Structure 1
Amino acid sequence: RNSVFYQHFLELLEEANPVGHIYVVTDNLSSHNSLSTRTWLEDHPRIRHVFIPVGACWLNLQEGWWRIFRKAALAGQTFAGPDEITQATKLATAQLNARAKPWVWGKPTPPTRHLRRRYIYHL
């Protein structure tokens, strides 16, 4: 969560993707927009930063996904090693994919309320 580690991450990303432009979508964390990071990016023109606008946290869908994934795979678990973490990750991903549904924006319409008693008046 500091500029040095973030720049190291970007180096690894650049090495893993040797061809073409790399677009990195980030939030406004200080390490993503620090002077040292901006200077580092000038020397690496293939990497292009795209920032989520301030006050538009709803655009960062990663946070919601990560919360769901953490709850499904990691919450309350104790792992003896990386193999167990990998297994838990694969299992949780398979379970989440099995019950995945398309995302619907907005509040769903409330169900229609059925009246318990209906009165019929005859004249």
Structure 2
Amino acid sequence: MHLVCGHVATHKTPAVNDWLAEHPRFHMHFTPTGSSWINQVERWFGFLTDQLLPAASIKACRPLEKDVSAWIEGWNSDPKPFVWKTTAEEILGSLAKYISRISGAEH
């Protein structure tokens, strides 16, 4: 099992390292600091979820696998690049607004 993770330090804790040592089937891969490709992968899965899964009545794996494969085939028949539409200023403004809302909130 290959696990793709963001650039975080949780994998450096003794508990996680011990668990991984006991489970050699799991292989950790980390995105480089500042990379954005994983965001594009997450967005692609978001499209899959939004466009296919809410309408699906999942009763068995094989029909779901067939539906997902057909959706991917359709997606790949007319590929379009992901284009960032939000500016850095908009992202930072949104983040500042969020921080001001949670500032001082009890956790």
Question: Which band: TM-score by shorter chain?
Answer: 0.5 to 0.7
The aligned counterpart of 1:81 is 60
The aligned counterpart of 1:38 is 17
| Count of residue pairs brought into register by the alignment | 82
| TM value normalised by structure 1 | 0.47
Match of residue 96, structure 1, among 68, 75, 86: 75
* 1:85 Cα deviation after fit: 0.5
* 1:65 maps to 2:44: yes
Other structure's SS at 1:89 match: helix
| TM value normalised by structure 2 | 0.52
Identify, as 1 or 2, the structure richer in helix: 2
Do the aligned partners of residues 103 and 82 (structure 1) sit closer, same or farther apart at CA in structure 2, a change above 3 Å counting?
same
Alignment of 1:1-12 (within 5 A): none
* 1:50 maps to 2:30: yes
Q: Give identity over the alignment, percent.
A: 16
| Pair member with larger Rg | 1
User: Which structure exhibits the higher relative contact order, with contacts defined as CA atoms closer than 8 Å and separated by 6 or more residues?
Assistant: 2
Q: Which runs of 5+ in 2 are unaligned?
A: 87-107
| Partner Cα distance (1:80, 1:29) in 2 | 39
| Partner Cα distance (1:71, 1:29) in 2 | 31
* 1:39 Cα deviation after fit: 2.4
Deviating 4+ runs (over 6 angstroms): none
Q: Could you give the per-residue CA deviations for residues 9-34 of structure 1, whole angstroms, max 9, x where no partner exists?
A: xxxx2xxxxxxxx7x5303496x565
* 1:106 Cα deviation after fit: 5.7
Q: Which runs of 5+ in 1 are unaligned?
A: 1-12, 14-21, 108-123
Taking only aligned residues, the RMSD between alpha carbons, in angstroms, comes to 3.5
